[in-house]
Amino acid sequence: MVNVELKNVVKKYGDLIAINNLSFKVNSGELMVLLGPPGAGKSSTLKTVAGVEEVTSGEILIDNELVNNFDPADRDVAMAFETYALYPHLSVFENIAFPLRAPKRSRLFSEEAVKEKVLEVARFLEIDMLLERKPKELSGGQRQRVALGRCLIRDPKVFLLDEPIAHLDAKLRYRLRQELKKWQQRKGVTTLYTTTDYLEAFSVADRIVILNKGTLQQVGSWEEIYNHPANTFVGMIVSDPPMNYFDGKLVMDGGKMLMRAKGISFYLPSLTEEKARQMNISEVVLGIFPSKILMSRDENFMPGSGTIVDGVAKFTELRGSRKIVFVQTPQDLSFTIQLPAEAKVQIGEKVRCFFGEDEVQIFDKQSKINLFWV
């Protein structure tokens, strides 16, 4: 079994810092997703692990072995490129078979075995009827699957999948992301997988690395990230619509610390309070996911102990099975709520919103860091 570790990796393109002092470790057999907006440095990270881009500084270890100076061919990784990188002069069949025909492997596979393996992979990706075609005769989604096939045909130490299903149609994408996960688990290959889609990340990942502008934001499982996003940036990209943020002030009230925002106030949980005291923080940002806010048209709505906010539904938007409601309060607080599509709300209607105080994330206003992680 193989683990992969990055230690203080820096990658610069000229003056541009694409990866900034990145360290994390992928355990054996784990599927690690790199999640981040475009330009975050996801592809650059995979390329440095593959060895096609040299790191500017830092160390890359595969199987506890320093591979910085290894040729890409000697790192025993398979990579599916975001841009596909299909060989235009070879047929789909030959593209997929290409890694097996490399001098170092060609002895291991007879022509029969190659054929069999290619067919297996092609069937899995539903491209077995395209094997004779050249890449330029394929659609974008088909090309992407060929790129993936060229990767899956191998049994490498590490899979590097750069947005491997981003250009497939929605249906195939849903199916493949599950199948890919199964394939990976069956083979037990340690995998680095990038995406810009947090739902895809949550659905395939064992753990997730969140990147922004080349800098690590948070590493953790789905629960860890969702329950305690490390900073306001993470809260923004792991939810759609993004986390709601309000500016707040911490004030002392009878020996306890009170959180005050426009029309909201509550006492901090003791753990958070302690951290705020330690850091001597008074300006904070409150964050709450749209899915964590309950809403009712009933004026007496009070599902438990928590905070009540009254407001007006400004407008609504249907997104698949969800309904997004934009609420504004008389105190000029505005936020979004996520409800099931069936929920009935009229625009302009008075609504009562509720959230539990333990669902609120509190960030330092200056550093934007979640007090939980301080």
Ligand X SMILES: Nc1ncnc2c1ncn2[C@@H]1O[C@H](COP(=O)(O)OP(=O)(O)OP(=O)(O)O)[C@@H](O)[C@H]1O
Instruction: Give strand pairing partners of 173.
Output: none
Instruction: Judge whether 327 and 337 are in contact, CB under 8 Å.
Output: yes
Instruction: Judge whether 151 and 78 are in contact, CB under 8 Å.
Output: yes
**Using rule CB under 5 A, residue 53 touches Mg ion:** no
**Using rule CB under 6 A, residue 38 touches ligand X:** yes
Binds another protein by CB under 8 A, chosen from 10, 17, 52, 219: 52
DSSP state letters, 216-257: EEEEE-HHHHHHS-SBHHHHHHTSSSPPEEEEEEEEEETTEE
Which tokens sit at 223?
Answer: 């629960």
Binds another protein by CB under 8 A, chosen from 38, 103, 254, 320: 103
Helices (H) and strands (E) in the chain, counts: 10, 20
CB of 220 to another protein, least distance (A): 29
Binds ligand X by CB under 6 A, chosen from 26, 32, 40, 209: 40
70 vs 174, beta carbon nearer another protein: 70
Stretch (H or E) spanning 264: strand 264-267
101 vs 350, beta carbon nearer another protein: 101
Q: Which does 196 bind (CB under 5 to 8 A by kind): another protein, Mg ion, ligand X, none?
A: ligand X
CB atoms within 10 A of CB 209: 25
**Using rule CB under 8 A, residue 102 touches another protein:** yes
Residues 136-165 touching another protein, rule: CB under 8 A, are 150
Binds another protein by CB under 8 A, chosen from 23, 28, 83, 185: 83
- DSSP code of 369? B
Binds another protein by CB under 8 A, chosen from 36, 51, 164, 290: 51
Closest CA to 38 of 58, 18, 60, 12: 18
219 vs 324, beta carbon nearer ligand X: 219
**Stretch in the footprint of another protein (CB under 8 A) among 96-104, 117-125, 197-205, 249-257:** 96-104
With the CA atoms of 284, 290, 294 and 298 taken in that order, what torsion angle do they form, in degrees rounded to the nearest 10?
100
Binds ligand X by CB under 6 A, chosen from 13, 87, 315, 373: 13
Binds Mg ion by CB under 5 A, chosen from 26, 31, 41, 43: 43
Residues 54-73 touching another protein, rule: CB under 8 A, are 69-73
Closest CA to 49 of 68, 24, 74: 68
Instruction: Give strand pairing partners of 5.
Output: 25, 61
DSSP state letters, 55-119: -SEEEEEETTEE-TTS-GGGTTEEEE-TT----TTS-HHHHHHGGGGSHHHHTT--HHHHHHHHH
Q: Which does 41 bind (CB under 5 to 8 A by kind): Mg ion, another protein, ligand X, none?
A: ligand X
CB of 253 to ligand X, least distance (A): 45
Binds ligand X by CB under 6 A, chosen from 9, 22, 36, 333: 36
What is the binding site for another protein (CB under 8 A)? 47, 50-52, 69-75, 77-79, 81, 83, 85-89, 98-99, 102-105, 150
What is the binding site for ligand X (CB under 6 A)? 13, 16, 18, 36, 38-44, 82, 196
